[in-house]
Amino acid sequence: MEVMSSVTHSVDGPSSFHASPGALPSHKDATITSTYDWSDVLDRAYDVSDSGARGPRPYPLPPKSRKNKVLPEDLKTPDSHVERDPRLIRLTGVHPFNVEAPLSDLYDEGFLTTKDLHYVRNHGPVPLVEDSEILNWEFTVEGMVERPLKLTLRDLIRDYEQVTYPITLVCAGNRRKEQNVVRKTKGFSWGAAGLSTALWTGVSLGDLLLRAGIMRGARYVCFEGADKLPNGYYGTSVKLNWAMDPNRGIMVSYRMNGELLHPDHGKPLRIVIPGQIGGRSVKWLKRIIVSAAPSDNWYHIYDNRVLPTMVSPEASANLPETWKDERYAIYDLNTNSAACYPAHDEVLPLTGGPETYKFRGYAYAGGGKRVSRLEVTLDQGKTWTLANITYPEDEYKLAPENEILYGGRLDMSWREACFCWCFWDLDIPLAQLRDARDVMVRAMDDSMMVQPRDMYWSVLGMMNNPWFRVVVHKEGDTLRFEHPTQPTLAGGGWMERVKKEGRNIVNGFWGEKVAGEEEAVVEEPVKEICMVNKEVSRDIALDELREHDGDAQPWFVVNGQVYDGTKFLEGHPGGAASIIGGAGQDVTEEFMTIHSENAKAMMPDYHIGSLSPESLAQLAAGADESPSTSSSPRPVFLQSKSWSPAVLTSKTKVSSDTKIFTFTLDHPTQIIGLPVGQHLMMRLRDPSPSSGSDAIIRAYTPLSPPSAAGTLDVLVKIYYDKAAAKGGRMTQALDALPLGRAVDFKGPIGKFEYLGKGRCTVGGRERKVARFVMVCAGSGITPIYQVLRAVMGDEGDETECLVLDANRVEQDILCKAELDGMVERGAGRCRVLYSLSRPLASWTGLRGRMDRALFEREVGAPPVERDTMVLVCGPGPMEEVVRKGFGEMGWAEEDLLFF
């Protein structure tokens, strides 16, 4: 049963609707009734049309969507309630869900995209909203308004005029993979399918703001969603005058292609902003806040910005004012285009078929602008040909007056603003393609802004829109076409190929060699290491794997292969806990990131079989791909089998290349849970909200004592890039991390633990120590300092300690004041000797590098009682000097412990 509302409609210009309270939109040919049956809402949301059968529509309707199901890989993630299409390409691992469709599939679906193939950008878990709760979903309109509103979705549908518009949403990261190939940005690798178009139904945002009444001085409208993330709820803002402008078409939407919103697309309510980047269209809407200033939400400040191209990822971490500069915030989309056909690696016969090939693709512009031309060049820009352009959006202007579609008025006849993508095509003779090295396309909008020839690289990798180049390869009697890149970490594309060939992609000629240009250094190919025993052919079921998820006989999975870590529990450098913590799990990411080539070469000795494809899919479904989102307080922070997030809250510079990074835990009373002498693993994805699944994992020993609660301090020496060599990937990424970002931690790990009063365990075996000799260099002081502090902090502990600390210059000595303080308080139990390899003339301590002569003089031969233990942490060459020198002095290997 449909209802007639009382509506006023201005016929002199753009539509202006004012629905009477308690009324619904008018439906042509509808039956008038005074009541509304709310039980019909869910059913009517799936109707193709609200206007009755009237023959073919003059405008496109969406393709029929598929009936999907929860995929195996999502079953044990926070998104286990979300049904999804398996064709979507996951860009950030299993979770969070960030996807685009295969480019050809997206194009083939036509002007309107189903919910199944519509791109998705999620920063975290999808909020669970049951169907029974949809109409009671509450949101507010607050801030600088005269009449604050608290509404339910039921109120929104009942009391306000509904509209339906076709709108294209585009992720600001669309085509980012191209920038990542040139130089890694802080964002994950979108291909060219980070956009989609749908029919959106809802209420004009301006109507809500008029009902609330805007106070003088208000300039912005902020939005906040229900998705709780490591840095708070997702939020952003737009200018108030845009929200009030009917040409901008900003709406509060609850339907997509006639269906109630899918969970990935904001169920039950979201903002939809035509012509602007998708990051402004907040999903799972809870708050609309009118303000005098832009949003101060963390995600508004540190996401969706194009910083000046000279700002590097490393420098960006120390430029908070730059991030806050609204001049760098992205709102309107820039003009962009891509070729969808020929597809990447498509092969075209030169004989026996048509004499032409139809190139096809999409184009879009932002801010309501219209794509006015699409040009194609086969000679790298010397000459251009105009392509044909079709604008399916224009067909909606042919709708009859007062047309109702999916419960909303479809009135676009007056509007000049363009909300959607368009399509282009051009028939190119095969004879011309045969002689071309490439085909490039560029679009221009009606303000005469044209796609640039070259890339504007920026730290977040957003708004990438240079000419789209398809390379043409002649292979016998066929042509093969090559796109710039392929999405996510998948290989392919001429940009990656050119880079691997050692050529410069940004030399102005797309990496083609030009006269006088020096060849780039070709990276040595990665050596393939066999990690399986080829004589093992056993298939292992998931149930059997999970029978070995404890410490008695731990099995684990790497790249689909099963390994038995039992024989290596005692010998593992990271201690038995490292293996036991991964028992029964897929630890591919951790293992491949942390372990050396030598360790990987040892794996065939522990290989016992392969997981079946079904078991592998089930295991992937349960993989811990993201930090736990449990809201229940936990007394201990570190967990051995799952990652836990902590938020970076400060950086304290202690030397030219070393900082203390302070992280805030879940609550002030939460303890770290790290035994003395052990380490934790730190996992850093990328320092941006646009980051992806490219994880970096390293082991660190924090400065914080075991009794510390609420915060975690980690001392890190940052290895910066130099002309002669690349720097540290983890340390530079950590240095580039903005304050407020979360980092994942896991642990404890390590084979050594100090129990107190000279008692310690090594590989699970207890021993008594009367003296520690501690040898370290640089930031290797951290595990040494942790043990030293425990010994010297206990007045009843009689263990003696000798510290040999090597550095280049005096400024490199870390924790010097703390070490000197322990010497003063130690009553003769502690000695610290500093040795500098590049000392100034005024230096009175030891000079030169550590060697056997120093060890013989200060340490001497091993005692008969074997009650002395040597703890070592430093760079590889120093460790080798220690190993060789102490070995020649007669020290047993079991008395030397290398952290």
What does the block give as tokens for 456? Answer: 């504007």
Judged by DSSP in three states, 558 sits in: strand
Compute the distance between CA of residue 359 and CA of residue 135 in angstroms, rounded to an integer. Answer: 46
Catalytic site residue 171?
A: yes
776 annotated ligand-binding residue: no
Contact 170, 672 (CB under 8 A): no
List 116, 122, 171, 445, catalytic entry: 171
Residues 6+ apart with CB under 8 A from 311: 319, 322, 458, 459
| CA separation for the pair 664, 742 (Å, rounded) | 9
Selected catalytic residue, list 50, 79, 159, 303: 303
Choosing from 174, 257, 304, 465, the catalytic residue is: 304
326 SS3 class: helix
51 burial level (CB within 10 Å; 0-12, 13-18, 19+): buried
Tell me whether residue 304 is one of the annotated catalytic residues. yes
CB 302 within 8 A of CB 740: yes
- How deeply is 392 buried, as exposed, middle or buried, from its count of CB atoms within 10 A (0-12, 13-18, 19+)? middle
Whole-angstrom Cα distance, residue 267 to residue 253?
10
316 phi/psi in degrees, rounded to 5 = -65, -25
Task: Look at the block and give the residue holding tokens 């979300």.
Answer: 82
Give CA torsion, residues 76, 82, 87, 91, to 10 deg: -60
Please enumerate in sequence order all residues whose Cβ is within 8 A of that of 439, keeping only pairs 6 or more positions apart, or say none.
339, 359, 376, 377, 378, 428, 433, 469, 470, 472
What is the DSSP track for 142-203?
A: EESBSS-EEEEHHHHHHHS--EEEEEEEE-TTTTHHHHHHHS--SS----S--EEEEEEEEE
Between CA 205 and CA 675 the distance in angstroms is 55
- DSSP secondary structure string, 433-446? HHH-SEEEEEEEET
User: Between helices 816-825 and 781-792, what is the axis angle to 10°?
Assistant: 30
**329 beta partners:** 305
* Active site positions, annotated: 171, 303-304
Summarize the annotated binding site for Mo-molybdopterin as residue ranges: 171
Summarize the annotated binding site as residue ranges: 171
